[in-house]
Amino acid sequence: MQGPNMARGFFITLEGGEGSGKSTQARLLVERLCAEGRDVLLTREPGGTPLGERIREIILSSRPSADAEFLLFSAARAEHVASKISPALAGGRWVVCDRYLDSTRVYQGDLAGIDAGLLRTVEQHVVRTARPNLTLILDLPPETGRARATARGALNRYDAEQMAYHERIREGFLAIATTEPQRCTVIDASRDAEAVAHDVWQAVASRFALPTG
């Protein structure tokens, strides 16, 4: 499908702690982009491919060592990039991904202690040119995220961690936003979904010159 003159699509990722509204906002953003006539792939990590979804189940149901968990997430991402994300971008589609490389930097790097140099080497090898053009960091107090996730249903083993752990996750994402301000936009995700979606759209529209109304 890809012609030599076909413009590459844009790649947007949503990041943030548990219950911050990533999946909700990803869905709303895709609806809005489609309404603007864009061809969009909505996907998520870990998962996004049949192999990735199986790896996701293994990670959530087992307690792999930190190294094994990092490599499993990276394997799922390699498959996701090669079979879905890169082909979509090359074909001119937009891609919206619910969690991506920043989650690995925070959960496996900051929290689980995977060496930063190793993490970057593997990240570069796995993502290659599939780098996000825009990353929306949904920020809210961890207590608020926990209350939402609890109201939604059973907590997974990351959700169930202590508040100090969730506070470190929040700080990890905010530190990335500070380091890479040209890629990352922090969104106040503590408000109702409609208000958050408004700010998400403002960020996307201004970044990609789309209508803001």
Ligand X SMILES: Nc1ncnc2c1ncn2[C@@H]1O[C@H](COP(=O)(O)OP(=O)(O)OP(=O)(O)O)[C@@H](O)[C@H]1O
Site for ligand X, rule CB under 6 A: 16, 18-24, 148-149, 152, 192-193, 196
User: Is residue 159 within the footprint of Mg ion (CB under 5 A)?
Assistant: no
Contacts of 51 (CB under 8 A, 6+ apart): 76, 79
Question: For Mg ion, which stretch binds (CB under 5 A), given 4-12, 20-28, 154-162, 170-178?
Answer: 20-28
CB closer to Mg ion, 12 vs 122 = 12
Shortest Cβ 124–ligand X spacing (Å): 26
Q: At 145, which helix (H) or strand (E)?
A: helix 142-152
Please count the other Cβ atoms lying within 10 Å of the Cβ belonging to residue 11. Answer: 24
Helix axes 66-80, 116-127, angle to 10 degrees: 20
Indicate whether 27 belongs to the interface with Mg ion (CB under 5 A): no
The answer to whether residue 190 forms part of the interface with Mg ion (CB under 5 A) is: no
Contacts for 177 with CB less than 8 Å, ≥ 6 apart: 135, 137, 184, 185, 186
Choose the binding region for Mg ion from 19-27, 85-93, 124-132, 158-166 (rule: CB under 5 A). Answer: 19-27
Q: How far is the CB of 19 from ligand X (least distance, A)?
A: 4
144 near Mg ion, judged by CB under 5 A: no
Amino acid letter, residue 129: T
* Residue 24 beta carbon to ligand X: minimum distance, rounded to whole angstroms: 3
For the chain, list the strands marked E by DSSP.
Answer: 11-16, 40-44, 94-98, 134-139, 184-188
- Residue 23 makes contact with Mg ion by CB under 5 A: yes
| Best CA proximity match to 144, nearest among 38, 9, 20, 3 | 20
Q: Please state the closest distance from residue 158 (CB atom) to ligand X, in A.
A: 8
Enumerate binding residues for Mg ion (CB under 5 A). 22-23
